[in-house]
Amino acid sequence: MTEAARAAADAARTTAPHAVRLTGVAKDYGPVRAVNDVELTVHQGEFFSLLGPSGSGKTTLLRLIAGFERPTAGRIALAGRDVTALPPSRRDVHTVFQDYALFPHMTVEQNVAYALTVRGVRKAERLARAREGLATVRLDGYGPRRPAQLSGGQRQRVALARALIDSPGLLLLDEPLGALDLGLRHEMQAELKRIQRATGVTFLLVTHDQEEALTLSDRLAVLDGGRIEQTGPPLEVYDRPASAFVAGFVGTTNLLRDEAAVRVVGAPGTYSIRPERIRIAPPGSVPGPGERCLPGRIAEIAHAGAHTRFTVRLEAGDDRLTVLRQHTARLPEAARTGAAVNLVWDTGDAFAVPG
Amino acid sequence: MPTTDRARGRLAALLAPPLLWLVLAYLGSLAVLLLSAFWTTDPFTSDVVRSFTTDNFREILGTPVYRTVALRTLGIAVTVTLLDAALALPVAFFMARVATGRLRRALVVAVLTPLWAGYLVKAYAWRVMLGEHGIVNAALEPFGLRGPGYGVSAVVIVLAYLWLPYMILPVYAALERLPARQLEASADLGAGTLRTLGSVVAPAVRPALLAGSVFTFSLSLGDYLTVQIVGGRTQLLGNVIASQVTLDLPLAAALSAVPVALIVCYLAAVRRAGALDSL
Amino acid sequence: MRCANPWKAAVAAGVLLLTAACGSGGGAGEKAPAEQKTLGKGEGRVDIIAWAGYAEDGSNDPRTDWVHPFEKRTGCKVNTKIAGTSDEMVSLMKTGQYDTVSASGDATLRLIAAKDVAPVNTGLVPNYRDVFPGLKMRPFNSRNGQMYGIPHGRGANLLMYRTDKVSPAPDSWKAVFDGAATYSGKVTAYDSPIYIADAALYLMKTRPALGIKDPYALDSKQLAAAVSLLKKQRQHIGEYWSDYQKEVTAFKGGDSVIGTTWQVIANTAAAEKAPVKAVLPKEGATGWSDTWMVSAKAKHPNCAYKWLDWIVSPKVNAQVAEYFGEAPANARACRETTDPHHCAVFHAADERYYRRVHFWTTPVPQCLDGRKGVKCTDYAEWTRAWTEIKG
């Protein structure tokens, strides 16, 4: 995408209607309410994630937007058009499925060109555009193969190319990286981001992997029990979780309630302190201005690759706090199990969360 | 290594008897059949005389009636196969993708049960139904219509009935295996129902249809009892062979080579289409 | 062509088996089977091939049972295999698994020539004494003055019709040949090459110019005439029959209304309340004279001889004759029939009557009517012709 095109797309984003707009959407399966009164807006050209644990209703929400399911209540609008009653084939949306759902009897090229074939595009043009699409996902020359001859990552790219072939207004991705191993997953994450930028298509990603959602998204929504708990840019959601659930689900945190809050934070309510915001200081150290300092003992040390996780038992009240330190960061000599330490943090890093 | 040798020996001992049986009983009888097609018989005693001759094949190729009967048999086998395919597709689709739970199990049982009933019992039941005062005529009478009576149509109907389960079952299995995601993917990419049926369902079902057709085609080609029961004055290859077996075994053997050749050709064609994998 | 490949394997396997297959003995060079000299103790079992109605054990009609009394008396357990045609009988006898067969004249000579049956020592069959002299030492049951079986009985192939559908009552085979169009689609005929003789018999009476003297001695021109008549008949055939139950149901259900039959079929159909009648048409008829023969490879020869004597014993022979609807072979049977006129009705002793009935005989190249210088058509040709007629 050229700079001019990007500028044009940015301009369009501000003037054009929202890519997705859900109003009061609910979905029941028998007595079970899978999606409950969801309001959601996704902007044009955005990379948006629906993040939640399994059973939170995120996949149902995606299937409602794609049209595979009909909502029990509420309206669904895509690019300003109400599509609530339309079948999937008449929505300007394509989906990348978790298991890719490639057509096994077609070649890679035929798979990629399927949406064009359905629309009756001439064969020469179809092939040219399929090749172009395969180039975008770096699979040049794979056209004549069958899906069965490809690796998982390659199939993933084919599925992407297939869904992007006719530049849909919206691309839905249902846990697209779930089946890949860790290394490949990171590689594909970068790839997804690159492709989204290159095409300018609005991406709506469903995932349970908070790291994935935080890394990729322009904005994200956290779901729990069929409801949206919080919507916002990754950093905002991470730093200012709107609920105890969000605080716990997005990243790890030390959640302090009631009396523990009084003991540790010094005020009643529910508070969250991110483990990486806490420093370990030698015993007897003096806190600076705006810092809080509590003595304790190291109960447990776990080395987890790039960082080390300490569990510290505070002297007052027997509360346990988790502290994360970069592996490279210099640690006090005395930081070993059983050692007496002081835990120090900026008072601003202990923030109140609702509920 | 001694252990692998012993394991291999055990495997060989385990496989040898069935393999030997397969070679002797299947290939052996086929070979003897083909071989005896080149013998001749004593015209009065009907005893086989083992002198090599190609007269039998020349007679088959040179006699118009054999060609007529062979073509009629082939036509019936093809019609039965097409009819079964046309019937099996919607039934199997309903079983695999519409019906659930108890209804689906009931349907599978309903399709399988007739296979336990005797072949002759079913054929004679159809003889009664298709007869002059049978249920078919009785049912059609109010509309001013009549059943087909005994003849080629009756043979096609009864054979199609007899072999239908062999077509439904593989098609049902294929449709059941077809992931729902693929149907959704097709719709998602803009395809309507018909398009999805043609581009996604049909290719998935095609090998199963071909596999089923191997049964319906070859079983129809070899049948000679149904035609005796409901065929009226019709005769098929099987009847001609049966009438020659006592009298001129070599000629009967040569005649048998016709359906064998047809089936081998059919299998080769089907194999090329990749359907034998789903047998 | 791709389908050539599988043949290679089959041909290779065939070559492999060639030696094995050629090793086993053929029929032509075998020694002639000899007749049995003495009668030993029964083997406890006898395997029989019979026409329907010849070995009744009460399962069709509880009052019709001469198998169980035989078993009780001799200790020979009877296993019966019903055959529908002479061809079927010949092929069953070739298996060597049966002891005795009720062969008609179109099977006897083939069985004798193929050495599938042994000569019969009539001295071991006391009831043979009372068999009508007209049935002894006939060309279809003996060879060179040696009996090959015990005569069972004889009868004619009749014309059966539904009395409610066919009128006026037919008295000629014309009803199923030149006049078949009247009942088009409802005419039936016997499904065997031997049925060609029925057409030949009709031509013998209606087209003397063809010069047919014996319906089983047809030169190729005469055969062609019969074939063309039968091809015309085929247009009007509803179905051919060889299974007697099939003919019973066809007449009962009205799928067939006229056609050739056996008396026993007419009796069975009538017993099942079908409005049918069977007549001997004015042209005469083809018919059968059956002979109980003993297999050359009989495993239970003593029981087989006991059966031969039993089935032609006056009482049983009378029962069979009445049930099947034929003339008994045993002259004393005529005193045992429930209908005292049975033997008169079926012309048991009337050799002149039976001159009108042409017993099934295997057609052979040497013309049976004594013609010289002409080659007659043999049964193989009749079989091919029959296939062609059915089309």
DSSP string, C304-367: HHHHHHHHTSHHHHHHHHHHHTSEESBGGGGGT-SSTTHHHHTTTT-HHHHTSEEE-----SB-
Rg (CA), chain B: 23
More confident position, C20 or C272? C272
Question: In this predicted model, what pLDDT tens digit does every residue of C272-282 receive, in sequence order?
Answer: 889 999 998 99
In this structure, whether the domain defined by C45-155+288-355 belongs to CATH 3.40.50.10190 is answered with: no
The confidence score (pLDDT) of residue A290 equals 86
The confidence score (pLDDT) of residue C12 equals 40
* Closest to A172 in 3D by CA, of A184, A154, A160: A160
Q: Say whether B44 and C110 touch across the interface (CB within 8 A).
A: yes
Q: Inform me whether the pLDDT recorded for A221 exceeds 60.
A: yes
Q: How many residues does chain B have?
A: 279
Residues 106-145 of C with CB under 8 A from B: 109-110, 113-115
CA-CA distance, B126 to C268, in Å (whole number)?
A: 22
Annotated domain spans of chain B: 64-278
Q: Say whether C13 and B27 touch across the interface (CB within 8 A).
A: yes
Q: Say whether A95 and B188 touch across the interface (CB within 8 A).
A: yes
Q: Inform me whether the pLDDT recorded for A111 exceeds 60.
A: yes
Nearest by CB to C87, which of B133, B247, B261?
B247
Question: 3-class DSSP state for residue A337?
Answer: coil
Structural domains of chain A, ranges and CATH numbers in brackets: 3-249 (3.40.50.300), 254-352 (2.40.50.140)
Q: Say whether C239 and B150 touch across the interface (CB within 8 A).
A: yes
CA-CA distance, B111 to A348, in Å (whole number)?
A: 72
Residue type, B256: S
Question: 3-class DSSP state for residue C378?
Answer: coil
Question: In this predicted model, what pLDDT tens digit does every residue of B179-232 receive, in sequence order?
Answer: 989 999 999 999 988 899 889 998 889 888 998 999 999 999 989 889 989 998
Of 2.120.10.30, 3.10.20.30, 3.40.50.2000, 1.10.3720.10, the CATH number of B64-278 is 1.10.3720.10
Question: In this predicted model, what pLDDT tens digit does every residue of A68-82 receive, in sequence order?
Answer: 999 999 999 999 899
Q: Say whether B189 and A99 touch across the interface (CB within 8 A).
A: no
Nearest by CB to C28, which of B47, B69, B228?
B47
CA distances A182 to A51, A54, A155, A234, C48, Å, are 19, 20, 16, 21, 80
Average pLDDT, stretch C339-351? 86
The confidence score (pLDDT) of residue C329 equals 94
Q: Inform me whether the pLDDT recorded for C236 exceeds 90.
A: yes
Q: Inform me whether the pLDDT recorded for A108 exceeds 50.
A: yes
Two structure tokens written together for A130: 């399929």
The confidence score (pLDDT) of residue B1 equals 47
Average pLDDT, stretch B16-27? 86
Two structure tokens written together for A148: 């069965």
Q: Is C18 on the interface with B (CB under 8 A)?
A: yes
* Closest to B67 in 3D by CA, of C196, B75, B264: B75
With beta carbons less than 8 A apart as the criterion, state whether C293 and C108 touch.
Answer: yes
pLDDT-derived band at A127 (thresholds 50, 70, 90) equals very high
CA-CA distance, A265 to A273, in Å (whole number)?
A: 9
CA-CA distance, C193 to C383, in Å (whole number)?
A: 5
CB pairs under 8 A between B and C: 142
CA-CA distance, C46 to B215, in Å (whole number)?
A: 40
The confidence score (pLDDT) of residue A308 equals 85
The confidence score (pLDDT) of residue A14 equals 54
Q: Is C387 on the interface with B (CB under 8 A)?
A: yes
Q: Do chains C and A touch (3 or more CB pairs under 8 A)?
A: no
Q: Is B90 on the interface with A (CB under 8 A)?
A: no
CA distance A213 to chain B (A): 24
Q: Say whether B134 and C253 touch across the interface (CB within 8 A).
A: yes
Those chains having 3 or more beta-carbon pairs within 8 angstroms of chain C are B
Of 3.40.50.12780, 2.60.120.650, 3.60.110.10, 3.40.190.10, the CATH number of C158-261+362-390 is 3.40.190.10
Residues of C in contact with B256 (CB under 8 A): none
The confidence score (pLDDT) of residue B141 equals 87
Two structure tokens written together for B240: 């001609």
Q: Say whether B35 and C114 touch across the interface (CB within 8 A).
A: no
CA distance A36 to chain B (A): 24
- In sequence order, the 6+-apart residues with CB closer than 8 A to the CB of C134 are C349, C351, C354
Residue of A nearest to B194 (CA): A118
Residue type, A146: R
Average pLDDT, stretch C343-348? 85
CA distance A74 to chain B (A): 21
CA distance C334 to chain B (A): 36
CA-CA distance, A270 to A250, in Å (whole number)?
A: 17
Q: Could you tell me which residues are beta bridge partners of residue A50?
A: A206, A221
pLDDT-derived band at C22 (thresholds 50, 70, 90) equals very low
Residue of B nearest to C6 (CA): B264
Q: Say whether B188 and A66 touch across the interface (CB within 8 A).
A: yes
Crossing angle (nearest 10°) for helices B249-272 and B55-62:
70
The confidence score (pLDDT) of residue C24 equals 36
Domains C45-155+288-355 and C158-261+362-390 share a fold: yes
CA-CA distance, C148 to B223, in Å (whole number)?
A: 38
Annotated domain spans of chain C: 45-155+288-355, 158-261+362-390
Q: Inform me whether the pLDDT recorded for C13 exceeds 80.
A: no
Those chains having 3 or more beta-carbon pairs within 8 angstroms of chain A are B
The confidence score (pLDDT) of residue C11 equals 41
pLDDT-derived band at C69 (thresholds 50, 70, 90) equals very high
